[in-house]
A and B are shown apart, each in its own frame.
Chain A
Amino acid sequence: MYRVMIIDDEISARNLMKVSIDWRALEMDVVGEAGSGIEAINIIDDVKPDIAIVDISMPFMNGIEFTEVASKRYPDLAIIIMTAMDDFEYARRCVSLPVFEYMLKPIVRSEFTATLLRLKEKLDRKFAEVRRRGITETHDDAAMDKSTIDQIREYIENNYRDSKINLTSVAQQFGFSSSYLSRRFKQETGKNFIEYLTECRMERAILMAGENAKMFCTSNEVGIPDTAYFGKCFKKYTGMSYSEFVAAKKKQ
């Protein structure tokens, strides 16, 4: 089963894709979806997709920008770009990107299935190759001591405003594999990497909410410019929506 992640700001587009394609027949599974490039970067390390289907026109971070970031961090990720005819010329200008295919919207099942089938064959061949060579995934990570973890924490505290950082980017920054960093980070701090990053951002957001800042200002400031995703994170962290939180703070 290949893991598929759908990134599209239109929820109906994501839904339609999920229901109209017979994923099971393709030996694929839609394991995650994101409403923006920002959200995708934040969750992609958890979702761990083999295939990303990315809409080209999205707010905050469009499909092209996302692809640029993702193709560097996840060289094995297969990306399919979805585009309406309007953006086609624009998309074509980005052919240098390592993208498996550009597909026209609205999707036509026969077309789309055919493309996915081709992708599956390609992935099959690639994994067969990997398997034939033997499992060489074990990355000889240098031992990570506590001071390194501290350094990483400091790095996060200094850089959480950068909306593009995530586990993989930091791991690459410090020269570890993301799985090792993730494991060690949890061992040392008792928290997930992404939880820690979000905590940093939310603490700052709470401060700003206390100062009565508008949500879009805060979300920008803390590195989650996608206000919808920011709202989701904020509610999950504080148990209240941003506006409720601001109102509650005022009462005190």
Chain B
Amino acid sequence: MKWVKNYLNKFFDSGAHNSLAVRLWSILAMILGLLAVTFAAAMIMINLNTKKENTIREAETLINGVTATINGNIANYKDISRLIMINQQVMKFMRADEVDPGLRNDTIYGVNDVLNVCNSIDSVFIFRNDGEYISTGKGIYYIDHETMNTGVWKEEIYEKLGGAIIRMNGNYAVFRQSGDQIVTIARAVYDIYSQKRTGILLMNISTKMLATAVGSIENADVCIVSENGTYLAGAKDLADLFDKGYCTGKIVHKDNGDGHFHMVSGYKPDGLPLIILCRVHPSRSRVPIMIIFVLLLLLGAFTASLSMLASYITKDINGPIFELSEAMEDTKRSGWLKKIDVKMPDNEIGQLADSYNSMNEYLQEVLNRLIDKEKAVQRVEMRVLQEQIKPHFLYNSLETISYMACEAGADKVYSALETLGSFYRNFLSKGDREIPLKREIQIIRDYLSIQKLRYGENINDEYDIDESVLDVMIPKLILQPLVENSIYHGIRVKGEPGVIMISAKPENKDLVVTVHDTGVGMTEEQIESILSETEDDGEEDALSGFGLKGTIRRIRYYCKDKDAIRITSEEGEYTEIRLKIAMRSNGEGE
């Protein structure tokens, strides 16, 4: 069993068979295979056994039949021998003091009279005590007088008193010249008046008698041999298979070892010098159909129940598990913690799906909580940032200072404060991410007028704004950083008075805004670097507030167009930044 287990393990461990269904079906196939083999083996065993039993039974019947026939025949011959014994001529012959040829002939005639009844009798020999004898017969016989005169030969016959013994070839003292075997019934002859033993009678029977006994048998080979194995009658080839083992007085069955389960049975009937050998033809024996039928039925039922089990497992377990895992995969692919809404059977697999769903819910909850927390943290941080610039504080301070300036008659100071207030009012406004162009322009005007306070006549501003675009919405604070850039990296660096020109006009369905300054200009590399999308100088951006690069990123993001911003420049002469923004709904946001 161990090797089977090892083999199975090896089979299942070979990767490709990991699917439960495949494993299941292979186990089933294996069970069925095992079952079929067992079934076949059982069939063969039963077949062989039945065959053997049948063969034995048949052989015994046959042998008993043959034995009975022979015994019956022998009994007849014994009676005939007694008739001969009491024949007048024979009695005369036995009593006569002198034996003359006449008497001899008379006696032979007398015997032949009796023998006429039956023609299987080969010959009859009658010996007187003094050695005189007569014989009937058609052939030439050798008589072994030496053997006949030994005490043993006679003793055997005499021991039976009036009875007969049956021996081959006159108890091995009388042989036919032709070599034909004869069965001899030998008995002592007694005078019926004096009850004296007068001689010995040998009645020789031809083997034809035996041939008749076995001749009519079908479906089997029957052979009769003598005690020493000499063939007498029937199937001659069986005579070769004789051995002494058959001479036990019982029916002996022996496998002849030719590989075809041909059994040879042998029997030596009591009192006969013969062995009956018998071989039943194997084709005669059959396996009982009922047993096969029952076995087949069992096999069928077993196969059916296994298939049902397998299909149940496949349908009610494998299928749902497969669907479940598909649904889970789907969920994974979607990137969301979705609930599985595949219909599941109301069993352990359903429970699995429910558990998965509730786990998903739990995870979603945890995620939500984390997200909320993160949002809250962000909100707080934003608040902190916003709180750092408190407009109320700034405005109130501006108002107070403005009032003081007014009181003191410092009109210029008040004007500057007013502009600053206006600038911050627009600059710090929250909420609106998009504002009308005119408000952005106002921011720039305020910004530049404050800057002009610082840099005096070095900065001049000019505006060329088309009235039709005043209300176009643009992202807040996209122009101010450009103007700031013009001042700090253009005009101030140059060291001479410069002009910043801001123009805005419609162009097809776009709003085109340009910020032109007569500053130091930019090199091609600078322009490329500014327009590139790398973030290598992010730190610089952070330092200069909104920064030029950050603004460009915002504009590109807003317009979803890389070419929304273009820069042209001539070193030492000018820089012009040109924005192209698709016009959207207008109207004051306030």
A contacts, CB < 8 Å to B: 10, 12-13, 15-16, 19-20, 57, 84-86, 88-89, 92, 102, 104-109
Contacts and interface: CB of A to CB of B under 8 A. Distances in A.
Contact of B392 (A12, A19, A84, A92): A84
A162 B400 CA distance: 34
B133 interface: no
B382 interface: no
Given A15-B403, A106-B398, 5 more contacts: A12-B399, A16-B399, A16-B403, A20-B406, A106-B399
B481 interface: no
B418 interface: yes
A109 B418 contact: yes
A114 to B, nearest CB: 14
A117 B400 CA distance: 25
Nearest to B404: A12
| Main DSSP-derived SS at the A contact region | helix
B211 to A, nearest CB: 136
A13 B391 CA distance: 14
A85 B403 contact: no
B422 interface: yes
Contacts, number: 59
A104 B418 CA distance: 12
A86 B422 CA distance: 14
Interface residues of B, number: 21
Interface of B: 391-392, 395-396, 398-400, 402-403, 406-407, 414, 418, 421-422, 425, 428-431, 590
Contacts of A85: 391, 425, 428-430
A13 B425 contact: no
Contacts of B414: 20
Contact of A19 (B391, B407, B429): B407
A191 to B, nearest CB: 38
| Main DSSP-derived SS at the B contact region | helix
B403 A12 contact: yes
B407 to A, nearest CB: 7
Nearest to A111: B422
A183 B168 CA distance: 180
B142 to A, nearest CB: 154
A109 B418 CA distance: 8
Contacts of A57: 392
B406 A106 contact: no
B402 A108 contact: no
B402 A20 contact: yes
Contact of A16 (B402, B422, B428, B431): B402
Contacts of A20: 402-403, 406, 414
B394 to A, nearest CB: 9
A18 B448 CA distance: 28
A13 B400 CA distance: 7
A53 to B, nearest CB: 14
B70 to A, nearest CB: 136
Contacts of B392: 57, 84, 86
A108 B421 contact: yes
B449 to A, nearest CB: 12
A21 to B, nearest CB: 11
Contacts of B396: 10, 12-13
A88 B429 contact: yes
A87 to B, nearest CB: 9
B194 to A, nearest CB: 168
A109 B439 CA distance: 17
A109 B402 CA distance: 12
Contacts of A88: 429, 431, 590
Contacts of A107: 418, 421
Given A106-B418, A106-B421, A108-B422, A84 B395 contact: yes
A107 B421 CA distance: 8
A109 B416 CA distance: 12
A84 B391 contact: yes
Contact of B406 (A19, A84, A86): A19
Contact of B395 (A89, A92, A106): A106
